[in-house]
C-alpha cells in the first residue's frame, strides 16, 4: 500500500461549524479512502502534496439531476436518439464534476441511460465522472408530468406501479422517482395538479423499500405533497408549497426536502419569452411564497438536501454552487448549507458510511479553494477550484 499525504490547509470536514487550521490527511492510493488526519506537523507519505494554506471542503452532492436533458433548448433535447443523449450525459457528468459535484443522484433519465453508464463506471470503462446513483426512467401516469419520450413508465393503478417498479429495480435502478404533481411550463400540467394517487405511489415505495432503496416524489403543490407524504416517500423534490402540517409530518417521518431553488428561479426567466406579464408575475410571486414556505419548514426542523434539477430550462450542470447561495436565503449559515450536502444528501443516497464528510475511513472526495467557504458560500463558485475524487485530482 502507498499513501499520499496532503498538508498545510484549512479543513472544513463537513460536520461542524469551523475549520481545522494547519491540517493534514493521508489517503490510501489504492482505495482512495482517508487513512488518517490531524493538525500540525504532517507525517511523511509516499507522495506529499502541499496545499499552500488553501481551504479544503467535501465534494458536493447534487441529488436531483437529469444528465441527458439540455438546459438551453425548449424541449430539453427530448427527441434525441439514445446515442446522442448518452454522449450529452457524459459531458454533463464532467461539467458537474468540474463545478465541484463529486456525487450525483439522478431523478429520471431517458432510456435508463444512467443505469447503463453506472454499469460502465463499475466495470471501469467510464472514468473521470462523479459517483452516480441511477434512477432509470421515472414513474408517471397517463398524461402526467414526464409522460413521453422514453422518460417514464406510465402506470394507472397500484398493480401497474408494482410491476413497473419491479421492472425498474430489475434493470438496476437505485432510487425510484415518482410524479405526485404536475410541473411548470408544460401545457395542461400545473404545480397544484395531483397526479399519481397515494395508493399508486405507496405500491412503488413499498417495492423500493423491500430492496433497501429510497423513493423520491416530484411534488410541487398541494394536495400532491400530502399524497406523497402519506405514501411514505423518503424525499419531496421541489416542495414549493409545503405547508405547516406537511412540514410537521416530514419531521416525524424523517422525509428530506430537495428545494431546487435555482430551477424555480428559472421559471420567470424562461417564461418571459412565452407568457403574458400577469403570468410572469404569478411565477415571481410563487418564488416569494417558496422562500416563505421553506423558512417555515426549516424552522420546524425539516431536513434539506442539495439538488438543482440540473438540465431544466436555463439550469445548467455547472450551477450547483449557485444553489448554495439561494439556500442561505432560507436562513441557513454556510456550514448549515454544506451539511445539507455532506450529511443529509449522503444519508438520502444511502452512502453516509462511505462519502459526504471528510472523516477517516471515507473516500477522499474534496475541493480545494482559494478563499474560506465558511466565510461566504460564493467562494465555492471559484471557477478554477481543484476537485479531487477518491483522492485523485480531476480538475
Residues that bind Zn ion (CB under 5 A): 107, 309
At 221, give phi and psi (nearest 5°): -130, -170
Radius of gyration of the chain, Cα coordinates, nearest whole angstrom: 21
- Please answer whether residues 31 and 4 qualify as being in contact, where contact means their C-beta atoms are separated by less than 8 angstroms: no
Nearer to Zn ion, 14 or 221 (CB): 221
Nearer to Zn ion, 204 or 334 (CB): 204
At its nearest, how many Å lie between Zn ion and the CB of residue 363?
Answer: 26
Nearer to Zn ion, 231 or 310 (CB): 310
- Please answer whether residues 12 and 29 qualify as being in contact, where contact means their C-beta atoms are separated by less than 8 angstroms: no
Which cell goes with 175? Answer: 432510487
CA atoms of 355 and 334, how far apart (whole Å)? 20
CA atoms of 282 and 185, how far apart (whole Å)? 12
What is the sign, positive or negative, of the torsion defined by CA atoms of 300, 100, 284, 240? negative
Task: Count other C-beta atoms under 10 Å from residue 366's C-beta.
Answer: 28
At its nearest, how many Å lie between Zn ion and the CB of residue 319?
Answer: 14
Q: If we measure between CA atoms, which residue out of 303, 327, 314, 302 comes closest to residue 380?
A: 327
At its nearest, how many Å lie between Zn ion and the CB of residue 175?
Answer: 12
At its nearest, how many Å lie between Zn ion and the CB of residue 148?
Answer: 15
Nearer to Zn ion, 107 or 387 (CB): 107
Which residue in the shown chain puts its C-beta closest to Zn ion?
309
Nearer to Zn ion, 107 or 335 (CB): 107
At its nearest, how many Å lie between Zn ion and the CB of residue 196?
Answer: 15
Q: If we measure between CA atoms, which residue out of 220, 152, 139 comes closest to residue 185?
A: 220
What sections of 184-223 are H helices per DSSP?
A: 198-210
Nearer to Zn ion, 108 or 373 (CB): 108
CA atoms of 84 and 209, how far apart (whole Å)? 33
Nearer to Zn ion, 246 or 309 (CB): 309
At its nearest, how many Å lie between Zn ion and the CB of residue 287?
Answer: 17
Q: If we measure between CA atoms, which residue out of 187, 184, 195 comes closest to residue 284?
A: 184
At its nearest, how many Å lie between Zn ion and the CB of residue 65?
Answer: 8
Amino acid at each position: 500500500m502507498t499513501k499520499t499525504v496532503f498538508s498545510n490547509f484549512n479543513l472544513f470536514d463537513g460536520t461542524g461549524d469551523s475549520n481545522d487550521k494547519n491540517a493534514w490527511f493521508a489517503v490510501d492510493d489504492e482505495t482512495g479512502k482517508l487513512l488518517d488526519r490531524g493538525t500540525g506537523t504532517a507525517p511523511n507519505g509516499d507522495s506529499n502534496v502541499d496545499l499552500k494554506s488553501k481551504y479544503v471542503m467535501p465534494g458536493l452532492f447534487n441529488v436531483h439531476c437529469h444528465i441527458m436533458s439540455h438546459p438551453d433548448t425548449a424541449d430539453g433535447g427530448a427527441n434525441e436518439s439514445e446515442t446522442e443523449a448518452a454522449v450529452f450525459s457524459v459531458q454533463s457528468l464532467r461539467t458537474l464534476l468540474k463545478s465541484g459535484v463529486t456525487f450525483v443522484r439522478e431523478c429520471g433519465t431517458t432510456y435508463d441511460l444512467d443505469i447503463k453508464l453506472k454499469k460502465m463506471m463499475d466495470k471501469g470503462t467510464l472514468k473521470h465522472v462523479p459517483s452516480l446513483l441511477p434512477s432509470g426512467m421515472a414513474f408517471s401516469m397517463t398524461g402526467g408530468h414526464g409522460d413521453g419520450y422514453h422518460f417514464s413508465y406510465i402506470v394507472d393503478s397500484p398493480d401497474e406501479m408494482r410491476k413497473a417498479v419491479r421492472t425498474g429495480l430489475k434493470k438496476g435502478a437505485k432510487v425510484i422517482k415518482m410524479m405526485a404533481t404536475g410541473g411548470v411550463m408544460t401545457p395542461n400540467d400545473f404545480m397544484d395538479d395531483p397526479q399519481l394517487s397515494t395508493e399508486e405511489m405507496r405500491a412503488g415505495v413499498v417495492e423500493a423499500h423491500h430492496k433497501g432503496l429510497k423513493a423520491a416524489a416530484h411534488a410541487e403543490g398541494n394536495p400532491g405533497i400530502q399524497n406523497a407524504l402519506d405514501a411514505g416517500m423518503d424525499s419531496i423534490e421541489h416542495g414549493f408549497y409545503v405547508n405547516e402540517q406537511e412540514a410537521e409530518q416530514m419531521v416525524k417521518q424523517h422525509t428530506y426536502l430537495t428545494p431546487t431553488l435555482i430551477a424555480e428561479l428559472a421559471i420567470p426567466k424562461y417564461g418571459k419569452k412565452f407568457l403574458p406579464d400577469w403570468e410572469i408575475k404569478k411565477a415571481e410571486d410563487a418564488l416569494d411564497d417558496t422562500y416563505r414556505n421553506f423558512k417555515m419548514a426549516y424552522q420546524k426542523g425539516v431536513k434539506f438536501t442539495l439538488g438543482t434539477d440540473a438540465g431544466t430550462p436555463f439550469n445548467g450542470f455547472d450551477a450547483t454552487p449557485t444553489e448554495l447561495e439561494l439556500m442561505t436565503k432560507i436562513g441557513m449559515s454556510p456550514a448549515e448549507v454544506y451539511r445539507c450536502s455532506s450529511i443529509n444528501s449522503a444519508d438520502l443516497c444511502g452512502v453516509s458510511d462511505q462519502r459526504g464528510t471528510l472523516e477517516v475511513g471515507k473516500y477522499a472526495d474534496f475541493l480545494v479553494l482559494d478563499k474560506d467557504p465558511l466565510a461566504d458560500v460564493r467562494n465555492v463558485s471559484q471557477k478554477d477550484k481543484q476537485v479531487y475524487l477518491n483522492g485523485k485530482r480531476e480538475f
